[in-house]
Amino acid sequence: MKLFENINELNGTLENSVITIGNFDGVHKGHQALFQQTIKKAKKINGISIVITFDPHPLRALGKSGPPLITRRDQKIELIQLANVDYIFCLPFTKEFAQTPPKDFIHNLLVAKLGMKAIIVGPDYLFGKNREGNIELLKKEGEKLDFSVIVPEWINDTKTGTNRISSTLIRKLVMDGMVSDIPEYLGRYYQIRGKVIRGRNRGGRQLGFPTANIKLYDELCPKFGVYAVKVECAEGIYPGVANIGYSPTFDDHIFTIEVHILNGFSSDIYGTRIRVNIIERLRDEKKFSGIAELSDQIHKDIEKTQELFKGLIE
Ligand code: RBF
Ligand code: MG
């Protein structure tokens, strides 16, 4: 597996390749299926498999706001790497690049530079200047330049009855707090990443539940509330309970993402980066009449989480 973060890093040209291209935000099961089909086709022709993706998101590069990303650059690359394709190109999407006419993109990059013999893309794939390139154009150019165009059907979403898995659907589920539905689409839990920063030092001292306060690195934040989570830090992987919101019991109105790690975890993790896998939504945040009531409730949240983890197969 070779990763290129700029096309200029590739000396010379490649040959006999099967390529899939997309933004692949979230690297969901639909994307994963495209990667597997790319690998399969490459084996069939004794060639190499290539994933091409972009960063930043094209809409951002063009100065539009764009959706909150499910996976930022590094996580997206890590997840694509799990697919075991031969080459990953994570190319900078710039305003200049956006001006590339679709035919130039096909001729200069895909065919001349990367030696494309087959391309595998989703049914709605559009590309090039003004998104003028489409599957029809690919097929026409494919006849001239001797590559095939493979367009797999959408993967059915048996849960909602809609006929495709999409990044848009996944974003909505996360924002609605429907996190336990996520593994069905991502093949993993939704994960947020961030750095542990100093909080108000109230959790441990006043409540009896020390929390790691997280400065979010990710863009997509689950709906406010309390969640059962699995925390990955340098020390290992631990169950935890997280609160996302404004802690309405207190009147400071400060947005925080806090995690209390279970089983007496007491390592100093200030300043380190942690990953929090969001497993299940437990409840809404509530304004309690006092610290004792809040503390009682957190006890219950922890019990529920421990039960949940007993039932989880790793
Ligand atoms: N604060 C609230 O005001 N209402 C809540 O319902 C609430 N639930 C929480 C649940 C968990 C599992 C944790 C770890 C924290 C919760 N908090 C809640 C935040 C709590 O007030 C905060 O951790 C302390 O004030 C320390 O910053
Ligand atoms: Mg804290």
Alpha carbon of 113 to ligand 1 centroid (Å): 55
Q: Say if ligand 1 is within 6 A of residue 116 CB.
A: no
Distance of CA 302 to the CA centre of its chain: 27
Contact status, residue 86 vs residue 41, Cβ threshold 8 Å: no
Closest atom of ligand 1 to CA, residue 248: 3
Cα(68)–Cα(80) distance, integer angstroms: 19
Cα(99)–Cα(127) distance, integer angstroms: 10
- Length of the chain counted residue by residue: 314
Amino acid symbol at 138: L
Which pLDDT value is given to residue 156? 75
Q: Which ligand is nearest to the CA of 260?
A: 1
Q: Which ligand is nearest to the CA of 211?
A: 2
Q: Print pLDDT tens along the chain (314 aa).
A: 999 999 999 999 999 999 999 999 999 999 999 999 999 999 999 999 999 999 999 888 888 888 999 999 999 999 999 999 999 999 999 999 999 999 999 999 999 999 999 999 999 999 999 999 999 999 999 999 999 999 998 887 777 666 788 999 999 999 999 999 999 999 999 999 999 999 888 888 889 999 999 999 999 999 999 999 999 999 999 999 999 999 999 988 999 999 999 988 899 999 999 999 999 999 999 999 999 999 999 999 999 999 999 987 55
Cα(132)–Cα(116) distance, integer angstroms: 20
Contact status, residue 179 vs residue 222, Cβ threshold 8 Å: yes
Closest atom of ligand 1 to CA, residue 202: 26
Residue to substitute in 198, 244, 249, 283 for testing ligand 1 pocket (most ligand atoms within 8 angstroms of CB): 249
Query: Whose Cα sits closest to atom 24 in ligand 1?
Result: 203
Closest atom of ligand 1 to CA, residue 247: 3
Q: Say if ligand 1 is within 6 A of residue 301 CB.
A: yes
Contact status, residue 35 vs residue 43, Cβ threshold 8 Å: no
Which pLDDT value is given to residue 313? 57
Q: Which domains does the chain have, with CATH numbers?
A: 2-150 (3.40.50.620), 188-313 (2.40.30.30)
Question: Half-sphere exposure of residue 118, counting CA atoms within 13 Å on the CB side?
Answer: 20
Residue 66 DSSP code = -
Interior CA angle at 108 toward 103 and 114, to 5°?
120
Q: Smallest Cα–Cα separation from 266: which of 299, 235, 298, 306?
A: 235
Two tokens, residue 70: 């499910």
Cα(114)–Cα(88) distance, integer angstroms: 12
